Amino acid sequence: MESNGTAEDIFSKTILAISETENAAGSVLVQKENFNKFSTHLDRITFVLKELSNLDLRSSDKLINALEILNREIKTMKRLAISCGNRSKVYLFLNCRRVVKQLEDSTKEISHALGLISLTSLDGSSVTNDMISNVCKNMSDTEYRLTTAEAQILEKIESGIEERNVDQSYASNLLHCIAEAVGIPTEQSELKREFEILESEMENDGLIEDTTEALRMEQIVALLGKANMITTPEEKERKYLRKRSSLVRQPIEPLHSFYCPISGDIMVDPVETCYGQTFERSAIEKWLADGNNLCPLTKMPLNTSRLKSNRTLRILIEEWKDRNIMITIASLKPKIESDKEQEVIDSLGKLQDLCMERELHQEWMIMEGYIPILIDRLGARNSVIRMHALDILYIFAKDSDENKEKIAKVDNAIRSIVHSLSRKVKESKSALQLLMELSRNDKVRSSIGSIQGCILLLVTISSSDDAQAARDADELLDNLSSDDQNVIQMARANYFGPLLRLLSTGPDSVKMMAAKTLSEIELTDQGKLSLSKKGAQRQLLKLLSHGDIEIKEVAISALHKLSTIPQNGLELVREGAARPLLELLYCQRLSTASLRENVVATILQLAISSAASEADEIQTSIFESEEDIFKFFSLISLTGPEIQQNILQSFVAICHSSSGSTIRNTLRQISATRVLVRLCEHDNHVVGENALKLLCCLMEEGDNSSYIDHLDQTFIDALLRIARTSNNLDEIAAALGVISSLPETSEITQCLLDAGVLQVIFACLADGRSDASQRRKVVENAAGALRRFTVPTNQEWQKKVAEAGCIQVLVELLVSGTALTKQKIAISLKQFSESSGGLSKPVKKKHAAFSCFLASPESRCPVHSGICTISSSFCLLEADAVRPLVRVLAEEEEIGAREASLDALLTLIQGAQLQKGSKVLAEADAIHPMIKLLSSSSAGLQEKALEALERMFRLIEFKQKYAIPAQPPLIDITQRGSSRMKSLAAMTLAHLDAIHAQSSYF
C-alpha cells in the first residue's frame, strides 16, 4: 500500500478497535448468543481488512469515508459491549430489546460501509472483492433474536404495567423469573440487593436516550417494587400502619366523577372521549356496538378508536378503593371479636370475600393482627364461625411460608386446628385442607405430628368412606412422614409395633393372625416402607417355609401388599424372596389355585421393582438360571387367564430391567415366540395385549428369520386389527413394533401391503402430529414399520407409500418427533431419495421456431435436472425435507438421528449431482453442521462428513467460502485420526490450498 498516513492509520485503528470490541463482547453478561454472532462477523471483517492492507490500494475519499464509518460503528459496539459487561444483569435484561436493536443497526451500518469499498475500482483483488460481498451478505442475513423466555418475561412486564393493579405475587413471580433467566440467586436477600442496584443504575442510565424509554424503565421498577421480597415484613408493616393511621374511621363516599354516566356504577377502566367526557370502557363500547354513534352526553359523533384511557382518574379510583378497604378491614375487628354470633358470621364472610379479591388485602389483614383473632375463633361454639376462621387461615397460608410460620407461632394454633379434625365432616375437611397446606413448610410440619392424637385422627380419616378426605389424609400423612418422630407415631397409630412382635415371637396361630392383619389392613405407602424397615418382610419370608399351607397363603398375601412399593420389592429380591416363591409355585403338592395366583402376583411386583431405575445400579434378578425362566414361562400353558396375564406382565417388566438381554435371549431359545403368537389372539384381552408386548420385546433385536414359519396372514391381520381398533396406545405401539421387526422378505411385505398396512401406519403418524407427547412410542414404531416399504430396490412399494401421503407427514415429524422417530424417518427419506435421480422426468426440448407460442416450460429440479414431484420421484426438495434434515443434523444430540439425516442429505451429491446438490446443501446451510461433525465423537459421523466435504471442496466456490472454518478440524484429523482419515483430511486441505498436494500427510 502507498504511504498514505490517513488510510493506513484508519486501517490499523479499525483492526485494533475490532480486537478490543471482541474482547469486550466475550465478557458480556446478557445476550451472549447475539454478541457471539456479531463477533463472528468481526472475525471475518478483520480477515478482510488484513487482506486489504496487503493490497496496493490508493487512498481516496470514498475509501477513507467507508473506513471512518466502519471505525465509528465498531467503537459504538465496543461501548455497548463494555456497558453490557459492567451493568447489572437485571438492568441489562430489562434493556435487552434495545441491545438487540443496537446490534441490528450497527450490523447494517458496518455492512453498508464494507459495501462502499469497491475493490474493482481500486485495482483490488477480485477474490478479496468476493470475500467482502460474502461478508456483507452474511451480515444482512443475520437475525438477532430474543430467547423465548426473554420475550415471554418482557410480555408479562408490559402486561403488568398495563394492568397496573397487579398482585404482589405477580411482581414476585416476575422478579423470580428474571433472576432465573439471568442466572442470579433467587434468595430474598440477593433479589433485594439486585433491586437496589437496579434503582441506583436508573439514576445513571447511559442506554436510555429519550424520555419515553426512561418513563418505561420507571414503570418497570415500580412494578417490580411491589414484589414481596423487595421490602422486609417490618418495612411493609410500618408503611401500612403509617398510611392507615392517616385515614378516618368510616368509609369515604365516592366522588361524583367516579360514576359512569351510562351504567351508574363506579368505573374500573375509565376512558375519555375526544370531547372530554369520561365513561366506563365496557359501557361506552357497548353503547357504540348497539348502534349509538353519538356521545350520550354531548350528542356529538363518537368512535371507539378515539377513546383514550383516563389514567389519572383510574389511579384516583384505585386509591379511593384501597383506602376504603383499609378502613373496612380495621372496622371488622371488633365485630369479629364480639359475642353476637350472627354479627361475627357476617363479618367473617365479608373478610373472606376481601381475602379472595386480592393478595394485598390478605397482607393488610395480617398486619392488622387478624391471625391471633381467627385462631381464637376456632374455639367458638358455633361451627359456622369455626369453618369461616379455618377457610380464611387457609387463604393466608396458601403459597406463603411466612404466613404459615406466623400461624404456627400463635399459642395453641396447631392444637386448635387439629381439634377441628374430630368435628363434623365439613369442618374436618376444612381443618384437613389447612393442615395439608401448613405441612408444606419444613418448620411447621413437625409441630403438626407432635400434637397428641393428630396421627391417630388422620389414620382414622384415611380409612373412612369419604374418598377425597381419605386421599387428603393419606397425602398429609405422607407429608408428615419426613419427620422420624411422626413415622414412629404412625406406626403406633397403625399398631405396627404389636403386630411385628407377634409376627416374630408368637405361636403359629398368632403369627398367622398377625400376617392376616397385615394383609388386610389399609396401609399408606409410608406405612409399607416403615414396616419393611422394621423387618416385617424378613419375618414373612420365614413363614413361607412353614408346613401349614394357610400360614403360607396369608404370608404371601401380606408380602404382596408390601411389595407394591418398589423399594420394598427390591429389598425382597435382595433377600432372595424369588427362590421360595418359585418353589411354592412349582410344588404341586402344596400349590393351591389361590396360592398360585398370589405367588405370581407377588413375583410380578418383584419384576416391576427390579426394572425400576434404582435396580439398574444393583443388577438384581428374580431368576437364578435359564431353567427358572423356562419353568416360569411354561406355566402360561398350564394356568388360567389371571395367572397368564401376570406371568406375561412379569416378563415384560423383566425384559426392561438390567438383566433383560439375558431373559430375552433365553425366551428366544425356548421358542417362546411360537406361544406368544398364539396368545396374541387370546379371548382374554389383557392376556393378548401382554403377549403382544412381550413378543415386541423379543423381536426388537436379533435375527427374526426363524419366526417365519409361524407368522401367517391370520397373525398379520390380527396385528393390523389391533393397530386400527385398539384404544390402548401401548398395545398399538406393540403391534407396530412387531410389524417393524417382521422378517423383511418380499412375501411378508406384500402380505402387509395387501392387508392395508400403509393406511394404518399413515393414520398413526398423522395422529402423532397433534398429540406427540402421549403417542411417542406409537409414532416411533410406525416410522420404523414404514422403512421396509421405502427400500430403493422396489420402487412400486415406494410409490404406494408416496401416494398414501406419508412423505409429507414424515417431513413434519422431522420437526416434532423424538430423536428415534427422526432417525427412522431420515432412513426412509434417504431410501426415497436414492430413487429420485432415476425417476426425475426429463424436460422435453421445444423447437425454437415455435417456442414463443408455447406455454412456459416446467421448472427443472435444481438437483435432478428434470421434472420432480413428491409422488413421482420422491424428491427431497419437492417435499421441503432438506432444511428439516439440516436442523436434525445441526441440533439433534442423538448420534443415530444425526447420522441418518446426514445419509439422507448426501444422496443429493451422489455421482454427477455433486455440483448441483452441493449448491442446494449450501443454500440450506448444511455445510457448517457437516464441518462441525469433523470434530464429532462418533467415528462414523466424522468419516461420512469428511468424505462428503472432500468431494464438495473440489469445487472452487465451496473451498473459497468454507476454507476458514474447515481448516482447524481438518488439521486436527491429520494429527489424531486413523491413517485413512489422515490421508483424506490432508487431501481435503490440499483442495483448500492449505497444504501442498505432495505433502507427507499423504
Distances 839 to 694, 805, 869, 906, 917 between C-alpha atoms, Å = 42, 18, 10, 18, 16
Q: In what order do the strands lie in the sheet with 308-309?
A: 278-280, 270-272, 308-309
Sign of the CA dihedral with 675 first, then 677, 680, and 682 last = negative
The confidence band for 180, taking pLDDT boundaries of 50, 70 and 90, is confident
The confidence band for 165, taking pLDDT boundaries of 50, 70 and 90, is low
Number of neighbouring beta carbons within 10 Å of residue 344:
22
The confidence band for 346, taking pLDDT boundaries of 50, 70 and 90, is very high
Residues facing residue 259 across a β-bridge: 266
- pLDDT at residue number 349: 94
- pLDDT at residue number 124: 52
Q: What percentage of the chain carries pLDDT values higher than 70?
A: 86
In degrees rounded to 5, what are phi and psi of residue 867? -90, 120
Interatomic CA distance for residues 306 and 338, integer angstroms: 54
- pLDDT at residue number 344: 94
- With cell 403418524, the residue in question is 765
**Going by C-beta distance under 8 Å and a sequence separation of 6 or more, which residues neighbour residue 938?**
895, 898, 899
Number of neighbouring beta carbons within 10 Å of residue 23:
14
Whether the predicted pLDDT of 495 surpasses 90:
no
Average pLDDT, the chain: 83
Closest to 871 in 3D by CA, of 823, 832, 825, 821: 832
C-alpha cell at 790: 421405502
pLDDT digits (tens, 9 = 90+) for 959-981: 888 888 989 999 989 888 888 89
Sign of the CA dihedral with 743 first, then 745, 751, and 757 last = positive
Number of neighbouring beta carbons within 10 Å of residue 13:
15
Q: What percentage of the chain carries pLDDT values higher than 90?
A: 23
Sign of the CA dihedral with 922 first, then 926, 931, and 932 last = positive
- With cell 358455633, the residue in question is 382
- pLDDT at residue number 617: 47
The residue among 225 and 357 whose pLDDT is bigger is 357
Q: Identify the three-state secondary structure at position 441.
A: coil
Q: Is 442:405 a contact under the CB 8 Å cutoff?
A: no
Interatomic CA distance for residues 73 and 69, integer angstroms: 6
**Going by C-beta distance under 8 Å and a sequence separation of 6 or more, which residues neighbour residue 31?**
84, 92, 96, 99, 100, 103
In degrees rounded to 5, what are phi and psi of residue 740? -70, -20
The confidence band for 670, taking pLDDT boundaries of 50, 70 and 90, is confident
**Going by C-beta distance under 8 Å and a sequence separation of 6 or more, which residues neighbour residue 87?**
29, 201
Burial class (CB in 10 A: 0-12, 13-18, 19+), 156: middle
Q: Identify the three-state secondary structure at position 292.
A: coil
C-alpha cell at 828: 426412509
Number of neighbouring beta carbons within 10 Å of residue 939:
11
The confidence band for 616, taking pLDDT boundaries of 50, 70 and 90, is very low
Specify the amino acid at residue 503. Answer: L
* Angle value at C-alpha 678, between 676 and 684, nearest 5 degrees: 90
Q: Which helix (H) or strand (E) holds 758?
A: helix 757-770
CA 132 to chain centre: 42
Task: Give the helix ranges, DSSP H, for 876-1000.
Answer: 882-891, 895-906, 914-923, 927-933, 939-952, 956-976, 979-991
Q: Is 99:92 a contact under the CB 8 Å cutoff?
A: yes
The residue among 108 and 485 whose pLDDT is bigger is 108
Residues facing residue 279 across a β-bridge: 271
- pLDDT at residue number 615: 44
- The DSSP 8-state label assigned to residue 892 in this structure reads -
Q: Is 217:207 a contact under the CB 8 Å cutoff?
A: no
**Range 467-471 average pLDDT:** 82
**Going by C-beta distance under 8 Å and a sequence separation of 6 or more, which residues neighbour residue 105?**
none
Q: Is 260:254 a contact under the CB 8 Å cutoff?
A: no
- pLDDT at residue number 7: 64
Number of neighbouring beta carbons within 10 Å of residue 855:
6
**Range 176-205 average pLDDT:** 79
C-alpha cell at 62: 470514498
Whether the predicted pLDDT of 304 surpasses 90:
no
DSSP 28-53: -SS-HHHHHHHHHHHHHHHHHHHHHH
- pLDDT at residue number 226: 75
- Per-residue exposure over 375-409, b if at least 16 CB sit within 10 Å of its own CB, e if not: bbbbebeeebbbbbbbbbbbbbbeebeebbebbbe
Q: Identify the three-state secondary structure at position 976.
A: helix
Q: Is 94:161 a contact under the CB 8 Å cutoff?
A: no
- pLDDT at residue number 275: 84
Q: Which helix (H) or strand (E) holds 180?
A: helix 168-182
In degrees rounded to 5, what are phi and psi of residue 113? -65, -45
Whether the predicted pLDDT of 386 surpasses 90:
yes
DSSP 780-836: HHHHHHHGGG--TT-HHHHHHHHHTTHHHHHHHHHHHS-HHHHHHHHHHHHHHHHHH
The residue among 211 and 444 whose pLDDT is bigger is 444
Q: Which helix (H) or strand (E) holds 428?
A: helix 425-438
- pLDDT at residue number 625: 82
**Range 70-88 average pLDDT:** 86
**Going by C-beta distance under 8 Å and a sequence separation of 6 or more, which residues neighbour residue 743?**
704, 705, 707, 708, 711
pLDDT digits (tens, 9 = 90+) for 97-123: 888 988 999 899 888 888 877 554 455
Specify the amino acid at residue 640. Answer: G
Q: Is 90:197 a contact under the CB 8 Å cutoff?
A: yes
Q: How many residues does the chain have?
A: 1002
The confidence band for 371, taking pLDDT boundaries of 50, 70 and 90, is very high
Specify the amino acid at residue 374. Answer: L
Whether the predicted pLDDT of 772 surpasses 50:
yes
- pLDDT at residue number 83: 84
- pLDDT at residue number 933: 93
pLDDT digits (tens, 9 = 90+) for 17-45: 888 888 888 888 888 888 999 998 888 88
Burial class (CB in 10 A: 0-12, 13-18, 19+), 221: middle
C-alpha cell at 27: 465478557
The residue among 57 and 725 whose pLDDT is bigger is 725
Q: Is 698:671 a contact under the CB 8 Å cutoff?
A: no
Specify the amino acid at residue 203. Answer: E
Q: Identify the three-state secondary structure at position 270.
A: strand
* Angle value at C-alpha 990, between 989 and 995, nearest 5 degrees: 85
Q: Is 906:921 a contact under the CB 8 Å cutoff?
A: no
Number of neighbouring beta carbons within 10 Å of residue 733:
24
Closest to 815 in 3D by CA, of 748, 884, 734, 764: 884
Q: Which helix (H) or strand (E) holds 271?
A: strand 270-272
- The DSSP 8-state label assigned to residue 1001 in this structure reads T
pTM of the model: 0.51
The residue among 504 and 207 whose pLDDT is bigger is 504
Interatomic CA distance for residues 416 and 375, integer angstroms: 7
Closest to 26 in 3D by CA, of 15, 40, 45: 40
The confidence band for 845, taking pLDDT boundaries of 50, 70 and 90, is low
Task: Give the helix ranges, DSSP H, for 337-424.
Answer: 341-357, 359-367, 370-377, 383-397, 401-409, 413-420
Q: Identify the three-state secondary structure at position 731.
A: helix
| Nearest-10 crossing angle of helices 484-493, 496-505 | 70
The residue among 590 and 329 whose pLDDT is bigger is 329
First to last CA, the chain: 38
Burial class (CB in 10 A: 0-12, 13-18, 19+), 787: middle
pLDDT digits (tens, 9 = 90+) for 620-667: 677 878 888 888 888 888 888 888 899 898 888 888 776 677 788 888
